[in-house]
């Protein structure tokens, strides 16, 4: 079984709809992240959480919110989706130990906003 | 100026060639450096990890870090069609967040 799973894998929605993307992990890591990937722009950090009570904004948090329901679960919501939020979304985890921050990624969710 | 700069390519080489992928960075505080490989429609997977300066070798892959020049490289020897993917560099300082390059798309032609 995959260590980091994301649901759904693909989603098509309309402008103005509320969307939730979910991430679960079995790696036992405290840290979880949400990124979006766009051609030519690479991976950009949306939100991150270092533990269940800790939520931090990343580079591009506007229009997004998150919820850390448990150590293993981290959800990303688009409150009112817009077409420029069409992208590939990745969840990642890390243990943050020993001065490193090696991140392990899920398979991604391809979101299309019409 | 971006924290991390990476040539997006695309890069196309014949099978068996030596491939050189590179990134430059501006933050002298970066201490650990990684290369991720991303196949089409998949998530990035960690390929190489290096702490501070120097070289690290793993099979056909060699990661090189030159902190004085703020330049890192990934070399792939005897490239194979299965190496065709996008390669992303990533780097960070301490236990803080990683900064990623935009990725270089590599195609190895049989």
The yes-or-no verdict on residue B92 having pLDDT over 90 is no
Residues B94, A97: Cα–Cα separation, whole Å: 10
Residues of chain A numbered 76-95 and touching chain B (CB < 8 Å): 90, 92
Contact B102 A42 (CB under 8 A): yes
| pLDDT at residue B79, as a whole number | 97
Residues B51, A20: Cα–Cα separation, whole Å: 37
Q: Cβ of A63 under 8 Å from any chain B Cβ? A: no
Contact A43 B100 (CB under 8 A): yes
Contact A43 B88 (CB under 8 A): yes
Nearest of A87, A105, A113 to residue A31 by alpha carbon: A105
| pLDDT at residue A100, as a whole number | 61
| pLDDT at residue A41, as a whole number | 83
- B50-69 pLDDT, tens digit each: 888 889 999 999 999 999 99
Question: Residue range B76-86: average pLDDT?
Answer: 97
Low-confidence ranges of chain A (pLDDT < 70): 1-2, 97-101
| pLDDT at residue A25, as a whole number | 97
Identity of the residue in A40, A42, A102 whose CB atom sits nearest the CB atom of B100: A42
């Amino acid at each position: 079984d995959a260590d980091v799973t994301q649901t759904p894998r693909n989603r098509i929605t309309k402008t103005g709809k509320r969307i939730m993307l979910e991430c679960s992990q079995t790696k036992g890591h405290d840290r979880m992240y949400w990124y979006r990937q766009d051609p030519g722009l690479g991976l950009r950090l949306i939100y991150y959480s270092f533990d269940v009570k800790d939520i931090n904004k990343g580079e591009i948090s506007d229009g997004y919110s998150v919820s850390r329901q448990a150590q293993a679960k981290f959800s990303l919501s688009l409150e009112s989706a817009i077409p420029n939020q069409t992208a590939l979304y990745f969840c990642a985890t890390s243990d943050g130990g020993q001065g490193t921050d090696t991140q392990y990624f899920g398979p991604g969710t391809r979101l299309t906003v019409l | 100026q971006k924290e991390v700069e990476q040539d997006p390519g695309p890069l196309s080489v014949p099978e068996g060639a030596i491939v050189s992928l590179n990134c430059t960075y501006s933050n002298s505080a970066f201490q650990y450096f990684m290369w991720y490989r991303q196949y089409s429609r998949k998530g990035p997977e960690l390929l190489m990890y290096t702490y501070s300066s120097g070289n690290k070798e793993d099979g056909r892959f060699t990661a090189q870090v030159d902190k004085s020049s703020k330049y890192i490289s990934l070399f792939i020897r005897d490239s194979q069609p299965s190496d065709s993917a996008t390669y992303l560099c990533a780097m960070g300082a301490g236990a803080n967040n990683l900064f990623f390059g935009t990725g270089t798309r590599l195609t190895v032609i049989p």
